[in-house]
Amino acid sequence: MKAARSSQRSGDRSRDRSAKRRPKPSSTARKRKTAPDKATPKSERSRDLILQSAAQLFRRQGFSATTLRQIAARAKIKAGSIYYHFDSKEEILEEVLDRGLRHVFETVKNAVDHAGKVSQRRKIGLAIEAHLVALLETSDFTSANIRIYGQLPKHLKEPHRPLRRAYAEYWDRLFLNARQAGELRADIEVVPLRMFVLGALNWTIEWFRLESRDAVLELASRTEMLIFEGVRKA
């Protein structure tokens, strides 16, 4: 009888834990701010802290080399507590990648949308600036996305391809509009140009030393000048 009651209590505790496990976040929930807010419920702050810690570790040492125990240690929680929010490291990765790309996409789009009546060159300059600020200054999620995406196996990349494609197409439209406005040479192919520009911008996480926001803005200005004016002496 004692054994039966013990088994029943164990089953009750197991059901309690299952009931408390949070469902996977919806696409709307993924648009939350990257930094925890004091007004946010404690469980949500803990979840965001796990994601923030994971993004920092993924950026620094890659996905494969990062363990759940390391993420928990950085978040200053017990390792088992991660399973209250996530089923696996892959699930954490999925949201880190999603947040990272959404952050840079929304930052760039907002900068261009609020530019007002400016030239197509200026819109591209603002997009460059916003991309670099998101990558170098405001989001570990974005820099982690850039650094580790190429290291991942195909099945982990696949869910994020549509959003990455949409971001690439957004840049293609910026360059196409500039070409149609006569601000880019007519013989410039848009897709290779976009690949060159985004590749150069993303590579800055490997060599650029962030000292101030002004340094990031100066880098953006030099990049815009290089694209539109080249390196030939006037």
pLDDT for res 201: 95
- pLDDT 10s digits, 24-49: 443 333 333 444 455 557 778 899 99
pLDDT at 65 over 80: yes
Predicted confidence band of residue 210 (pLDDT cuts 50, 70, 90): confident
For the chain, the domains span 32-229
The amino acid at 44: E
pLDDT for res 179: 95
- pLDDT 10s digits, 167-204: 999 999 999 999 999 999 999 999 999 999 999 999 99
Q: Is the Cβ–Cβ distance between 75 and 53 less than 8 Å?
A: yes
Superfamily of domain 32-229: Tetracycline Repressor, domain 2 (1.10.357.10)
pLDDT for res 16: 43
User: How far does the chain reach from its first CA to its final CA, in angstroms?
Assistant: 93
> Contacts by 196-199 with C-beta closer than 8 Å and gap 24+?
197/128, 197/171, 197/223, 197/227, 198/131, 198/168, 198/171
CA 210, 74, 60, 146 torsion-angle sign: negative
DSSP 4-37: HHHHHHHHHHHHHHHHHSPPPPPTTGGGS-SS--
More confident residue, 12 or 139: 139
Model pTM score:
0.77
pLDDT for res 70: 97
Chain centroid to CA 156: how far? 15
Mean pLDDT of the chain: 84
